[in-house]
């Protein structure tokens, strides 16, 4: 692995290209033109550490170039979580400089997913929180199991979403509901997420949700691939708001300067309630 460190824990993602056989945090399987990606840190509820992000970046580089891959289904290992967020053990030691880099690198990788010319569908089961919800939102569609729970609980840690969540959630569910979800940190269930437009379809089980994603992909595979790529570009063009993402990365970095951020992340790791002081 060619990973370099930036101030201890934030990797320079630019240096990091891995082949799929080198992955340790993501399982890959290709069947009939579909690449199945599974975030595989089940004991940590599939929390995404920086190495997982580096693998995601590498895999999407390869998806673009590999003619045999026509579509991607992204899910989380086990029944309890899709992804319960970015890895708080890494978030807990950010500073203002590397926090901006942390947010920008994640934003860049999620933009690769969003801009992929082949359909990418998230199948979300269980906890889909923080960076996990942001990852799902970067996919072209979201199919949830009935037990899925969505939320942006970063305020509990004294931070805000940093991987594009402030932008994509607002665009998907509207300003009022996005404010409510990001200010309260509340979780919502799959049916409510569907009613808000965050989720396309809900199925009782993970296997049925995967079959639902496969049925959509089968339809798309019968269409003109170039036209599908143009749909991706044009839909994303509606949502282009570069300044919003920059504001998010800057604000994320400012949060990391605060005592509340130290308190929020320490409280999670020490398994206690945080006491915030607004400073």
Q: Which residues bind ligand COA (CB under 6 A)?
A: 44-45, 47, 84-89, 91, 127, 129-131, 153-154, 156-157
* 55 annotated active-site: no
Distance, C-alpha 157 to centroid of its chain: 18
CB of 39 to ligand COA, least distance (A): 12
Residue pair 83/128 in contact by the 8 Å Cβ criterion: yes
CB of 109 to ligand COA, least distance (A): 15
* 154 annotated active-site: yes
CB of 8 to ligand COA, least distance (A): 17
Q: Rounded distance, CA 52 to CA 165, Å?
A: 18
CB-nearer residue toward ligand COA: 66 or 89: 89
Catalytic residue among 134, 208, 218, 263: 134
CB-nearer residue toward ligand COA: 115 or 266: 266
Task: Name the β-bridge partners of 73.
Answer: 36, 121
CB of 218 to ligand COA, least distance (A): 33
CB of 162 to ligand COA, least distance (A): 8
CB-nearer residue toward ligand COA: 115 or 179: 179
Sign of the Cα pseudo-torsion (47, 13, 62, 112, in order) = positive
Task: Name the β-bridge partners of 72.
Answer: 35, 120
Strands of 89-155, DSSP E: 120-124, 127-129, 141-145, 149-151
Q: At 167, is the secondary structure helix, strand, or coil?
A: helix
Ramachandran angles phi, psi of 68, nearest 5°: -70, -25
CB-nearer residue toward ligand COA: 71 or 128: 128
Record the tokens describing residue 32, joined without a space: 């009939």
CB-nearer residue toward ligand COA: 91 or 122: 91
Sign of the Cα pseudo-torsion (91, 252, 76, 3, in order) = negative
CB contact set of 193 (below 8 Å; sequence gap of 6+) = 142, 144, 148, 150, 199
CB of 48 to ligand COA, least distance (A): 8
CB-nearer residue toward ligand COA: 119 or 130: 130
Catalytic residue among 154, 192, 214, 279: 154
CB contact set of 258 (below 8 Å; sequence gap of 6+) = 158, 279
Residue 252: CA count within 13 A, CB half-sphere? 29
Indicate which residues carry an active-site annotation: 134, 154
């Amino acid at each position: 692995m060619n990973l370099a460190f930036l101030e201890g824990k934030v990797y320079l993602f630019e240096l990091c290209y891995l082949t799929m056989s080198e992955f340790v945090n993501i399982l890959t399987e290709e069947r009939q033109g579909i690449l199945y990606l599974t975030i595989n840190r089940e004991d940590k509820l599939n929390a995404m550490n920086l190495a997982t992000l580096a693998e995601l970046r590498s895999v999407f580089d390869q998806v673009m170039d590999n003619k045999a891959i026509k579509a991607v289904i992204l899910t989380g290992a086990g029944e309890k979580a899709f992804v319960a967020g970015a890895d708080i053990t890494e978030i807990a030691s950010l500073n203002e400089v590397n926090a901006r880099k942390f947010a920008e690198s994640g934003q860049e990788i999620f933009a690769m997913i969003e801009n992929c010319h082949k359909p990418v569908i998230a199948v979300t089961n269980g906890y889909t929180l923080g960076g996990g919800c942001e990852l799902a939102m970067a996919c072209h569609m979201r199919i949830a199991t009935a037990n899925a729970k969505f939320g942006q609980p970063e305020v509990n840690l004294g931070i805000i979403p940093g991987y594009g969540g402030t932008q994509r959630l607002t665009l998907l569910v509207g300003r009022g509901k996005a404010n409510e979800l990001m200010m309260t940190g509340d979780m919502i269930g799959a049916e409510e997420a569907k009613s808000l437009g965050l989720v396309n379809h809900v199925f009782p089980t993970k296997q049925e949700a995967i079959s639902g994603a496969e049925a959509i992909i089968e339809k798309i595979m019968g269409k003109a691939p170039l036209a599908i790529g143009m749909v991706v570009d044009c839909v994303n063009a509606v949502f282009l708001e570069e300044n919003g993402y920059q504001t998010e990365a800057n604000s994320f970095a400012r949060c990391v300067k605060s005592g509340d951020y130290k308190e929020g992340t320490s409280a999670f790791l020490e398994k206690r309630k945080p006491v915030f002081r607004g400073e």
